[in-house]
Each structure stands twice: as structure tokens, then as C-alpha cells.
A and B are shown apart, each in its own frame.
Chain A
Amino acid sequence: MNPKRKQRLIIVLGIVAGVSAAATFMGVALQENINLYFSPTDVAAGKAPLNKRIRVGGLVVAGSLKRGEQLDVTFDVTDSVESLTVQYDGILPDLFREGQGIIANGKLIESGVVVADEVLAKHDEEYMPPEVQDSLDKAKAQGKYSADL
């Protein structure tokens, strides 16, 4: 390769390396800010500020959903280590169900209690036709299929 081209190649590679390094540092430094939501563990560790708008996310604990008057609902959200309670007054998204991942947007009023004004459903990467899900559920109920899906 002639020296001039080699020099230009080195410059281009240098730019890529430099920008990647800068982006890595920024990503690491801004880790907390780039995360869309706090997990219940973060909240329990006191990382989430009180009385400020925050987002919390996790799985809805099975059996924790309680409906109050009109649209009032409360439910627990967990990341399988810690959990917290979400109070919400509004329409839940179609995909909301126990065991599903959700993200709630609201205020932490005391440790472990969030008053949400928006609840979003998080979808996982699994896609499954209803018939397949049905047969899996049946097999599970009969105890033939115990693997955790």
C-alpha cells in the first residue's frame, strides 16, 4: 500500500477508535441516566429520589392485583429480589397481566410505594401462537411439562 493511502487508513481507524472510546466513557458515565427505569432493588437501595417523577419497572407479582373503587388499582412489582407497591388510577394497557413486565411512571411517596399516572406494558421477545400456548398450559397443568418457559 502506498504511504499516503496507509496514512489515510490510519487516520480513519484512529477516528473510529477515538470516537468509540469517547462513546464508551460517556455510556459508562451516564449509565444511570440512560436506564429508562429503576428496578425495585434500586428503589430499595435508596437510589430513586422521593417525590420526584421517576419510572419503576419489573414483573407484576402474581396475585397482588387489587381493584379498588372505579379504576383504582394497586399491585406489586418485583425483580425477584425486592418488590414495591404501585398505586394507579387509570386504564391499564391490554398486555397488562400478572407475571408480565411493566413500567410505571409516577412518584415515590414513601419507601416502596409509587403513585403512578402512567403504566406501560413491556413485551418480551417471545412470540407464540395461542394454540401452542394452550397446549403448553394444559401439559403444565397435568404436570407433564415442568420446564420453566
Chain B
Amino acid sequence: MFETIKLYYHKFGTPKYFYDLTSKMLPWLIGFTVVLLVPGVILGLGFAPMDEEQGHSYRIMFIHVPAASVAMSAYVMMALAGAIGLIWKMKMAEIVAKCCAPIGASFALLCLLTGSIWGKPTWGTWWVWDARLTSMLVLFFLFMGVIALNNAFESAQSAAKATALLSIVGVVNLPIIKYSVEWWNTLHQTASIKVTEGASMPAEMLTPLLMCIFGFYFLFSVLVVVASRAEVLEREQRSKWVKQLVMVE
């Protein structure tokens, strides 16, 4: 078991094998994304019952909640990959960490925008500076900071080092986002889906929501894989295998 993990760790750590393995994985990832996200969104936006108090406007949660979840996970992945790149000098990890930033930023922005659109009819305001909203905005700025820092260096190596440090420092924001609604008085409500207590919504709403959440995760994996493959090709353009690949195709 451990040997298999170690083998795949080393395989994924090598640009050529990463490229070959993801070529085989990509159709599956795209397949899962479509199978989960298309019916999830159709069920959520079209067929789930409306909410007693909010009417139809609650349906934005089928985009908002998955986007928020993926944005936070993207940050965890970016920081972890950054740390692996920093400690074990693994080039592939540096590439993945770099590719996570713009994708995570997009999901964070999507979360902020949909939340704001929902806030106006529900709360009566587009924005308040409560702990949840502010910490999520900080997450978006952290992603933007990482992107900017990545572009500020000539050499990919120093860029990877600097962004890994920034990402690791920013990890402290994640528990703040997650628990902000419990630690402080906020306008934002607490979580509706809790691992320990189940969900405070009926199955007709929960099923499409879970489909959307998992679908968003697969979408994220597709985006990261595609972006990383492009980055691999660019960085390895002088290597034999890339030249062969280009010649054959």
C-alpha cells in the first residue's frame, strides 16, 4: 500500500508521467463533472421546491455554496502544493500551486458576487463588513496576491518560493472563514450542512446541492489539470519527450 502511494507520488512528481497519467484521467474527470453538474444545476434551479421565506432567491445557493467550498479547498491545495515544493523541491508541486491561484481566485470571486446578489433581496443590503464576508474577501485578495507575486519574478524558482511562503501564511485565514459565523456575531447565517448533525434542509434541496458541490470539485480538478498540463509543456519545451509529442501530433 505504502509502496504504491510512494510510486504514484514519484510518478505524479515527474512532469512526463504527470502528463501521461493526466491524459488518461482527463476524460473521466470531465465525464464526472458533466454527469454531476448538469443534472445538479437543472434540479437545483428548476425542480427543487422553493423556500418558505426566501421564495426562489435561495436557489443561488446551488452556485454560491459550491463556489465557496471549492475556493477554500483550492487555497488548501495551493498551500499544500507550495509547501511540498518548498520542502521537497518537487517541480510538479510548484506547477500545481501556481495553477491553483487564478482558478481559486475565480471561484472566490464567484462566491462573493453570488452572495452579494443573494444578500440584497434577503438581508436588504449588498454588503456588510461582518466577519464571514470580510474573511472571504481576504481570501480573494490572498489569491490575487499570489498571482501578482508569481508574475513579479523572472525565475520560476524564486516565484515558487515566495508564493509558497505567502500561501502558507494565508492558511490561517481558512479556519477564520469557516468558524467566523460561530465565533462572532455576523449577518451571515451558520452552516446548513454539518458533518456531525446532518443538514437543515429537505432531501429535495440537499440532493441537488450535494451534486453541485461534487460537480464543482470535479470541475476544479479538470481546470487545475488542464492548466498544469499547459504549464508542464511550456516549462519542458526543450525536453526530448515534449519534442517527440509535438512531432507525433
Binding site for B on A (CB under 8 A): 5, 8-9, 12, 15-16, 19-20, 22-23, 27, 31, 34-37, 39, 57, 93-95, 103, 118-133
CA distance A30 to B184 in the complex (A): 10
| Chain A contacts for B176, CB-based, 8 A | 23, 27
| Chain A contacts for B190, CB-based, 8 A | 124-125
B87→A127 contact, CB < 8 A: no
CA distance A129 to B124 in the complex (A): 22
A127→B205 contact, CB < 8 A: yes
CA distance A34 to B130 in the complex (A): 7
| Chain B contacts for A133, CB-based, 8 A | 52
**Residues 147-189 of B at the A interface (beta carbon under 8 Å):** 165, 168-169, 171-172, 176, 183-187, 189
B contact residues, range: 35 or more
CA distance A16 to B201 in the complex (A): 36
B49→A125 contact, CB < 8 A: no
5 examples of A-B residue contacts, CB within 8 angstroms:
A36-B128, A118-B125, A126-B200, A129-B52, A129-B205
| Chain A contacts for B124, CB-based, 8 A | 93, 95, 118-121
| Chain B contacts for A12, CB-based, 8 A | 83, 86-87, 168
Q: A123-B189, A129-B49 are in contact. Are A36 and B184 (CB under 8 A)?
A: yes
CA distance A22 to B176 in the complex (A): 13
SS class, residues of chain B in contact with chain A: loop
CA distance A31 to B86 in the complex (A): 35
| Chain A contacts for B186, CB-based, 8 A | 36
Say yes or no: is B131 at the interface (Cβ < 8 Å to chain A). Answer: yes
* Contact pick for B123, options A5, A19, A93, CB 8 Å: A93
| Chain B contacts for A118, CB-based, 8 A | 124-125
4 A-B pairs besides A95-B122, A123-B122, A129-B49 with CB distance below 8 A are: A15-B165, A15-B169, A36-B184, A127-B58
* Smallest CB gap from B51: residue in A: A127
| Chain A contacts for B205, CB-based, 8 A | 127, 129
| Chain A contacts for B185, CB-based, 8 A | 35-37, 39, 57
Say yes or no: is B192 at the interface (Cβ < 8 Å to chain A). Answer: yes
Say yes or no: is B204 at the interface (Cβ < 8 Å to chain A). Answer: yes
- Ranked 8 nearest A-B pairs via Cβ: A129-B49, A93-B124, A127-B201, A36-B130, A125-B192, A133-B52, A35-B185, A8-B87
Most A-side CB within 10 Å, residue of B124, B168, B202: B124
| Chain A contacts for B242, CB-based, 8 A | none
Q: A23-B172, A119-B124 are in contact. Are A125 and B200 (CB under 8 A)?
A: yes
SS class, residues of chain A in contact with chain B: mixed
CA distance A36 to B129 in the complex (A): 8
* Contact pick for A95, options B53, B168, B183, B202, CB 8 Å: B53
Say yes or no: is B54 at the interface (Cβ < 8 Å to chain A). Answer: yes
| Chain A contacts for B50, CB-based, 8 A | 129-130
CA distance A15 to B87 in the complex (A): 13
| Chain B contacts for A120, CB-based, 8 A | 123-125, 128, 187
Q: A95-B54, A125-B192, A131-B49 are in contact. Are A34 and B202 (CB under 8 A)?
A: no
B204→A129 contact, CB < 8 A: yes
CA distance A124 to B191 in the complex (A): 9
**Residues 175-222 of B at the A interface (beta carbon under 8 Å):** 176, 183-187, 189-192, 200-202, 204-205
A125→B191 contact, CB < 8 A: yes
